[in-house]
Structure 1
Amino acid sequence: MNLPKNIKCIIFDMDGVIIDSEEIHKKAYYQTFEAIGVTVSDDLYKTFTGSSTINAFQKLVAHFNLNLSPEELVLHKRKRYVNFFENDPNLHLVKGVENLIKHFYNKGFTLVLASSSAMVNIDRVFKRFDLDRFFTAKISGADLTASKPHPEIFEKAAILGNTPKENCIVIEDSDNGVHAANGANIFVIGYQNPMAEGQTLENADLVINDFNTLRLNI
């Protein structure tokens, strides 16, 4: 496994990497699409994966030329997501990721969370699964001027981790996230989550489908 030397900081995406929430995000999106009377193709939906919710609805409004506020649509979708999040007892962490996080933490790596989700959703996940104790910092793409695939989120994540980019790695499950890491010039590991439909990860520096493999090599 060809990994950078002298890794000091691990930057994690959240949805699809830490928590298997892609399905409830999809349900919340499609309930919102139905409510406003638009039919979203699988191909169009795949372009939203890894983007912030506001960015996704900006694309949607432009694509269908809708006279609707993306900000209002974000709120409608978020209410539906929260309902699923709070009422789905089967919602779980991605297989192997909890052991991976603990492994990195115990070895003294700096851990940073860099997600396109809103901070309220990030905090909800971290509270439910007691993850705050492992992470130095969390950053939400929803609070930035540009969303993935723009590199801003990972550039800022490296700064929050107080680590040069050449000593960081990113773990992502979406093409938008991989492109963002590429743009930030940070080594990116693509995690093949079977729930992240249509993501090729072809521009990742390394692709894995099992976090145990990564744990045994870092």
Structure 2
Amino acid sequence: MIEAIIFDMDGTLVDTEPFNTEIERRQFALNKIVISEEDHQKFLGVASDAMWKEIAEQYNLQILVEELIEQNHIESIRYFTGIEEILVMPGLVELLEKLQAKKYPMAVASSSTPEIIDLILNKTDLKKYFQVIASAEQAGKSKPEPDVFLLTAERLGIKPANCLVVEDSSNGIKAAQAAGMTCVAYHSPDADPQKQKEADAVIQNYSQLGIMHF
């Protein structure tokens, strides 16, 4: 029985994946990192620190990983603070209102840093819907490891088996399933349908989630 709903943030609640990709591309150029689009896409849903650690090792970079992580964090804060509008996914607010009215506990489990999560949820006025907000940084390991989802379930006080996760990335889907949770893939504009096949179900819009589960 589903007792709580856990949402990923980027590409699931809000259409921020193109912004994150652009920020990372700028950082690749700044540090003279030549990376293919295919290799870049493998990091969708992965926390920034985990991504830069892997890239630094793979490309034998001379710059410290900590500097790369700090670069990315500063640029992300600057970018999302300055942007005029962050788009919320269509039909999401209506679903959140419905779930809130039915008193379903809701949470966010994101690979973004706590500061970025807070900035985006406040800017889009979505924060008020969630009882728990957790980041991979707080959990200690990034998706596809299940830690952030397990931490979220623990904070909600609900067993993982009774949690439904909404994700868009392959890494997020793997993490949710490794946590023993049901996972629905949200087919966002940037999602690869081939990489969402492992989810328990795929939805094209949030009205479908309401019909399927609530």
TM-score class, shorter-chain normalisation, is over 0.9
Q: Distance in 1 between matches of 2:99 and 2:3?
A: 10
Q: Distance in 1 between matches of 2:123 and 2:153?
A: 26
Q: Deviations over 1:64-112 (max 9, x none)?
A: 0112222211221222223332333242111111111111111110001
Retained in 1: the 8 A contact 2:169–2:196?
yes
Matches within 5 A, 1:1-218: 6-196=1-191, 200-217=195-212, 218=214
How much does 1:40 deviate?
1.2
Q: Distance in 2 between matches of 1:154 and 1:68?
A: 32
Q: Which moved more, 1:40-49 or 1:76-85?
A: 76-85
Give the length in aligned residue pairs.
213
Q: Distance in 1 between matches of 2:50 and 2:35?
A: 15
Which residue does the alignment assign to 1:3? none
> RMSD of aligned C-alpha atoms?
1.5
Q: Distance in 2 between matches of 1:155 and 1:60?
A: 26
- TM-score of the superposition, structure 2-length normalised? 0.94
Larger helix proportion, structure 1 or 2? Answer: 2
Q: Distance in 2 between matches of 1:120 and 1:69?
A: 22
Q: Distance in 2 between matches of 1:107 and 1:198?
A: 31
Retained in 2: the 8 A contact 1:16–1:193?
yes
Retained in 1: the 8 A contact 2:187–2:193?
no
How much does 1:215 deviate?
2.1
Listed as ranges, the gaps of 5+ residues in structure 2 are none
Retained in 2: the 8 A contact 1:95–1:211?
yes
